[in-house]
Chain A
Amino acid sequence: MPEVKTEEMLLNMGPQHPSTHGVFRVVIRTDGEMVLESESHIGYLHRCFEKVAENNNYLQVVPYTDRMDYLCAMANNLGYAQTVEKLMKLQVPERAEYIRVIVTELNRIASHLMAFGTYGMDLGAMTPFLYAFRDREMLLKIFEKLCGQRLNYSYIRVGGVTFDMTDEILADIERFCEYFEPDILKEYNDLLSYNGIFISRAANVGVLPVDLAISYGVTGPSLRGSGVARDLRKDEPSSIYDRFDFDVMVGSGEMGTVGDCWDRYMVRVREMTESVKIVRQAIRDIPSGPFCDKKAFRGVKPPKGEVYHKIEGARGEVGFYLVSDGTVKPYRVKARGPSFCNISVLDALTSKGDCMVADMVAIIGSLDIVMGEVDR
């Protein structure tokens, strides 16, 4: 009896797609529902950040860094500011350091809330998305009170922060922490994380082995989901992160295999608890004093040289390679977005042959990419 022959289909998960988290194109070769091979195409959101940075002075570059990873803009600002300060050997006031830590961690919570919500929505559970945004709204209100912006802050600049954090805002943040942890996180876990259908969609799907992950440059929660306890806040702490006591969340294969989508997702949910811990400690210890280096705010002119600095953003290692030629404009700013490396691992994961089209959506969602920092 002749073998039944099926035809392969070439599908285009186009730049516009409800679940590719931005303009991201994947060309999939499928045999029915099983994916045989996929090829990623990026560059649809390339806005020439690096070229623009060469034509603007150091202060004018700050808003462009916001728009790279627009969901965790504070981390981008922080990375850039610390890179320039490293080259200038500039010491930032204590209060500014504490404020920076507070806003970066709050932004990390906001970013993970978004990742949590959209991941649920990708897998069909529409309600957690709304709950996540209800809580994210509180954070965005705090940011609006602080610096006037809800998404792209340009708040952390070379030399400090733009506005001081008043006691009212500190009280708001404390109220948010009281509200958020542990009750809300427990609600999220009950609703989505330990739901049987969600576990069957996310566990044992998209297993990322450690050596493959590191070879592909994956960092952040995606790497920690595979069991590697690498967190730049602990391994190479910049500013005052070494003063805070927090744990590094690592995936352990609780529901399936180590490094599956569920692990990556759960690392993010648990990291929110740790961020709240850091924020509480920072609020407790924040000193009074100046919040910026006024001379740096008037103009920045680093000496000639080059430096590479990296911090832990919400999605992984945000790195800036800065080349300065002694003028007011940077000679070259190379931005390393974590999602650029994280998404490159998708083709390797899907070519193993045990991935379905529905699983691709789960994998892309669990890698938590933002196309702004993939394409810059």
Chain B
Amino acid sequence: MGLESAQIHQIVKEKFADSVLEEAADAVDPFIVVKPGVIEDLAYFCRDDTRLEFDLLSCISGVDYPERNVIEVIYCLDSTPNKHWLIVKVVLPRDNPRVRTVENVWRTADWHERETYDLLGVTFEGHHNLIRILCAEDWVGYPLRRDYVMPETYRGIRNVVY
């Protein structure tokens, strides 16, 4: 049976002591915040460590906080054999959000990171094919940002403003 969130956080903190910036243990869904630079190593660790075995990356979400001037990228990890989960957050500066890719750890990160790049503008360094996935390939702007304004026209098609 799986470990509790507190125990999982403890295991991660043992390995990455100085990179874990925050641990929200009493939130509805406990999560940890780590430094952006360590995410790739953390990903390998989470997947390969025998106590954790996080082999399934459920989803990568990006959240835009313009008041705090950050973009958070949230990784929701899951473990099929152990049936426990972990939420890891990375906080990036809003004007240049860059973080290492984890697509070599979990192949599903390929498309999830492309979507986060497409909608929020987060650049995943080392990604082999970081192009837009949901919007058209020559779209300008990052739609899911809070200050996004729809363009007037796209390739001559006028935008309808209600």
With an 8 A cutoff between CB atoms, is B40 at the interface? no
With an 8 A cutoff between CB atoms, is A321 at the interface? yes
A329-368 toward B: CB 8 Å interface, digit per residue (1/0)?
0011010100011001000100000000000000000000
Given contacts A51-B143, A51-B144, A236-B83, contact A319 B107 (CB under 8 A): no
A220-232 toward B: CB 8 Å interface, digit per residue (1/0)?
0000000010100
Q: Classify chain B's interface size.
A: 20 to 34
Given contacts A217-B106, A235-B83, A319-B76, contact A306 B134 (CB under 8 A): no
Query: B27, A215: Cβ atoms under 8 Å?
Result: no
Given contacts A306-B29, A323-B63, contact A43 B56 (CB under 8 A): no
Residues of B contacting A305 in the complex (Cβ-Cβ under 8 angstroms): 27-28
Given contacts A321-B76, A344-B108, contact A86 B28 (CB under 8 A): yes
Task: Specify the chain A residue showing the minimal Cβ separation from B55.
Answer: A214
For the complex, what is the distance from the CA of A216 to the CA of B103, rounded to whole Å? 10
Query: B110, A344: Cβ atoms under 8 Å?
Result: yes
List B residues 44-69 near A (Cβ within 8 Å): 55-59, 61-64
With an 8 A cutoff between CB atoms, is A375 at the interface? yes
Query: B63, A317: Cβ atoms under 8 Å?
Result: no
Residues of B contacting A375 in the complex (Cβ-Cβ under 8 angstroms): 134
How far, in Å, is B121 (CB) from chain A's closest CB?
Answer: 14
Query: Which single member of A42, A54, A216, A332 contacts B61 (CB below 8 Å)?
Result: A332
Residues of A contacting B136 in the complex (Cβ-Cβ under 8 angstroms): 43
Residues of B contacting A212 in the complex (Cβ-Cβ under 8 angstroms): 107
Query: Which single member of B55, B80, B143 contacts A48 (CB below 8 Å)?
Result: B143
Given contacts A51-B143, A236-B83, A331-B63, contact A308 B107 (CB under 8 A): no
How far, in Å, is A353 (CB) from chain B's closest CB?
Answer: 18
Query: A217, B28: Cβ atoms under 8 Å?
Result: no
With an 8 A cutoff between CB atoms, is A10 at the interface? no
Query: Which single member of B29, B57, B134 contacts A308 (CB below 8 Å)?
Result: B29
Residues of A contacting B83 in the complex (Cβ-Cβ under 8 angstroms): 235-236
Task: Specify the chain A residue showing the minimal Cβ separation from B47.
Answer: A215
Chain A CB within 10 Å, residue with most, of B55, B64, B83, B111: B111
Task: Specify the chain A residue showing the minimal Cβ separation from B146.
Answer: A54
A-B contact pairs, 5 of them (CB 8 A): A42-B133, A43-B135, A48-B143, A306-B31, A331-B63
With an 8 A cutoff between CB atoms, is B92 at the interface? no
Query: A334, B107: Cβ atoms under 8 Å?
Result: no
Given known contacts A215-B108, A344-B110, A376-B134, what 16 new A-B pairs fall within 8 Å (CB)? A51-B143, A86-B29, A215-B107, A217-B58, A217-B108, A236-B85, A305-B27, A306-B27, A306-B74, A307-B29, A308-B76, A317-B58, A319-B76, A323-B63, A336-B76, A340-B111
With an 8 A cutoff between CB atoms, is A46 at the interface? yes
Residues of A contacting B12 in the complex (Cβ-Cβ under 8 angstroms): none
Query: A321, B74: Cβ atoms under 8 Å?
Result: yes
With an 8 A cutoff between CB atoms, is A87 at the interface? yes
A46-60 toward B: CB 8 Å interface, digit per residue (1/0)?
101011001000000
Please give me the 9 A-B residue pairs with the lowest Cβ-Cβ distance, nearest first: A217-B108, A334-B61, A336-B59, A43-B134, A215-B107, A46-B134, A321-B61, A307-B29, A332-B63
Task: Specify the chain B residue showing the minimal Cβ separation from A375.
Answer: B134
Residues of A contacting B64 in the complex (Cβ-Cβ under 8 angstroms): 332
Task: Specify the chain A residue showing the minimal Cβ separation from B119.
Answer: A50
How far, in Å, is A311 (CB) from chain B's closest CB?
Answer: 12
Residues of B contacting A51 in the complex (Cβ-Cβ under 8 angstroms): 143-144
